[in-house]
Structure 1
Amino acid sequence: MTLPLIPPMLATPGTLPPAAQDARWAYETKQDGQRAVAYLPGDGSLVLRARSGEDITAAYPELLALGGALGGTPAVLDGEILALDAQGRADFQLLQGRMGLAHAPARAARRAAQVPVHLVLFDVMHLGGRSLVPLAYTRRRARLEELGLEGPYWSTPAAVVGHGARALAATREHGLEGLVCKRLDSVYEPGVRSRAWIKIRNMRSEDVLVGGWLPGRGRLTGLPGALLVGQRAAGRLRYVGSVGTGWSEAERAALAGLLRALATDVCPFDPRPAVSGAHWVLPRLVGEVRYSVRTRAGMLRQPSWLRLRPDLAPEDAAADLPTWTDGTDGAGKGG
């Protein structure tokens, strides 16, 4: 059977629905993985497509058995591909070693044996030759759960109706990425970033030292487009990522003046990060950044600028980590 191509519905960043509307929403754990739409034609085969529409099936050979999980019933399912750490939590760094191998099946098979993935399913958009896109979330969710899709490399975690504040608190307590709030009466909107789905990311904040910057482009010409930041550990300033968001225009202009006053030809980071086009500064500016998680190399993932910390001395921006890697793994990939 030829199945319709359905781009995934996207969530809008936001906050918890008002308490008075809490019972009108379902809450699902936000997972830190790769979004994937699974196409099961009903002949035992499977096609996985990324958010971009790219066929990524060959990158995840352990998921191929899902193609026969519904017998001859064709289906289109929405989910997230995860790589789990020793505590059973999604680890995007682990997953990165699996992504991008769709055109290297032999390497993908070797990596699958070392770092197997898990597909979390949370929606069904087409089933048995019928489109479920016009149905309310509650009806789609009920049909999905009736399918009983629980296997060695895939599952259908439960959603919670109401109790949003408690659900969000639970994700924070367990170190999970966040929460997705889904309105119970919402239809599936293919390819749309909808207010009917709201994502809340649990973020952390830490103090960092500014050690350099990258020039902006276009209307930001002459201003910093991103700051290169680090933290002190074992007597060295270790690079932890680049921060390119979080400023107003006035704040960016003020930072430009401070950076010019601290300019130096010497890179303050040890080891030197592999960042091209960097302008180095004396590491005297302390700032606070918000981020989602640290990578295994100590890098800050998805950092954004919060504020300057003139009340703190440079030595206060120390890394709260037991150990650091000696390489520059991840250098230049933050922000």
Structure 2
Amino acid sequence: MALTFPVAPMKATLGTLPDGDGWAHEIKWDGHRTLAHVVDGEVRLQATAGGDATARWPEVRAIGTAINAGSAILDGEMLVIGEDGRPSFDLVQRRDPARHPAMFHVFDVLQVDGTDVTSADYLQRRSLLAGLLEPGSHWDVPAYRIGEGAELLAATREQGLEGLIAKRTDSTYRPGARSKDWVKVKNRIRTEVVIGGFTEGAGRRSGTLGALLVGVPDGAGLRFAGGVGTGFDLATLESLTAALTRITTDTHPFTSDPPRQVARSATWVRPERVAVIEIAEFTNDGHVRHASFVSMIER
């Protein structure tokens, strides 16, 4: 049966690099997951949640002229390259096609000329994709590597990239499924931050902190760097809440005012405590992204 708009994409599980043979490795690109539905040269782009994203990516619509078929459904990642030559999720969010055009990395194919190919295995679909899409200035088919995952992961870490997706070479495409046949392996940056406040917890965290509000020292003082709301166990939440409550103050310690929606519910503390956190990256605004608490530094 032919697949129609929208199609729920297959998703990877978060994990560690798999052992053994039978795995293909792709670079994990930091952007917006997107499906392209192409019919007779016309393109309709679909966001992960199913919405129509065609208007958001005008520079990619011409991909319809690069398909060697009357129709197809392609799966990939829409990304934007920053000034440093690396994908920037922040620029994806801001969207300025004139200054920072998108690149659509197509890594899978679900349908060709009305024929559902999701039951074909990964290598068969990749072979089909190689002959289906002609390269263009705003789309391509990124390479994959059989085996040698540890070496490729190390290379992505050195280049400041997000990590890898490991996919079983015999895996079929299961629309809407989150499968262990695809494993997301992320590089994480460990960094120190100064705690300048916290928000109150809710629900199961009622009575303890919800998130730490943190800063990073720079030449002018302590620059606000966002919030850290994950990585805590109950004992840490209780002890950290008690410790921070003893050093509260009326004003924030940052060199510029934190966003109003943060400040409204914040309790400020003297900048005396330092935490180690793991993040995906610092955004262009200098805020932590996908931050998780690791430990406190006792000084």
**TM-score with structure 1 length normalisation?**
0.85
- Mapped contact 1:3–1:39 kept (Cα < 8 A): no
Q: Which residue of 1 aligns with 2:35?
A: 37
Q: Which residue of 2 aligns with 1:25?
A: 23
C-alpha distance in 2 between matches for 1:28 and 1:267: 43
Deviations 1:265-311 (A, max 9, x none): 1111111201131111111111100001111222111111000111x
Q: Please give the residue correspondences for 1:125-274 in structure 2 after superposition, counting only pairs within 5 Å.
A: 125-274=110-259
Q: Tell me the CA shift for residue 37 of structure 1.
A: 0.6
Q: Please give the residue correspondences for 1:49-64 in structure 2 after superposition, counting only pairs within 5 Å.
A: 49-64=46-61
Q: Which residue of 2 aligns with 1:316?
A: none
Long gaps (5+) in structure 1: 99-110, 313-335
Q: Note the aligned Cα RMSD (angstroms).
A: 1.3
Deviations 1:165-219 (A, max 9, x none): 1110111121111110001111111111111111111111111111100111112
Q: Please give the residue correspondences for 1:274-289 in structure 2 after superposition, counting only pairs within 5 Å.
A: 274=259, 275=262, 276-289=264-277
C-alpha distance in 2 between matches for 1:11 and 1:223: 33
- Mapped contact 1:36–1:78 kept (Cα < 8 A): yes
Aligned residues: 294
- Mapped contact 1:44–1:71 kept (Cα < 8 A): no
Q: Which residue of 2 aligns with 1:14?
A: 15
Could you say what secondary structure the match of 2:60 adopts? helix
C-alpha distance in 2 between matches for 1:265 and 1:129: 64
Q: Tell me the CA shift for residue 87 of structure 1.
A: 4.1
C-alpha distance in 2 between matches for 1:88 and 1:75: 31
Of Structure 1 and Structure 2, the greater strand share is in 2
C-alpha distance in 2 between matches for 1:258 and 1:132: 57
Q: Which residue of 1 aligns with 2:106?
A: 121
The answer to whether structure 1 residue 305 and structure 2 residue 293 are counterparts is yes
Could you say what secondary structure the match of 1:171 adopts? helix
Q: Tell me the CA shift for residue 221 of structure 1.
A: 1.1
Q: Which residue of 2 aligns with 1:95?
A: 92
- Mapped contact 2:3–2:116 kept (Cα < 8 A): no
Q: Tell me the CA shift for residue 3 of structure 1.
A: 4.7
C-alpha distance in 2 between matches for 1:71 and 1:16: 35
Long gaps (5+) in structure 2: none
C-alpha distance in 2 between matches for 1:292 and 1:69: 34
- Mapped contact 2:59–2:101 kept (Cα < 8 A): yes
Q: Tell me the CA shift for residue 71 of structure 1.
A: 5.2
2:78 to 62, 74, 81: 81
Which AA in structure 2 matches 1:285? R
Which AA in structure 1 matches 2:30? D
C-alpha distance in 1 between matches for 2:10 and 2:84: 29
Q: Tell me the CA shift for residue 232 of structure 1.
A: 1.5
- Mapped contact 2:82–2:100 kept (Cα < 8 A): no
Q: Which residue of 2 aligns with 1:322?
A: none
- Mapped contact 1:28–1:180 kept (Cα < 8 A): yes
- Mapped contact 1:82–1:119 kept (Cα < 8 A): yes
C-alpha distance in 2 between matches for 1:3 and 1:75: 10
Identity percentage of aligned residues: 41
**TM-score with structure 2 length normalisation?**
0.95
Which AA in structure 2 matches 1:91? S
Could you say what secondary structure the match of 1:284 adopts? coil
C-alpha distance in 1 between matches for 2:130 and 2:107: 9
Could you say what secondary structure the match of 1:219 adopts? helix
Which AA in structure 1 matches 2:273? L
Where do 4+ consecutive residues of structure 1 move more than 2 Å? none
Could you say what secondary structure the match of 1:26 adopts? strand
Q: Which residue of 2 aligns with 1:107?
A: none
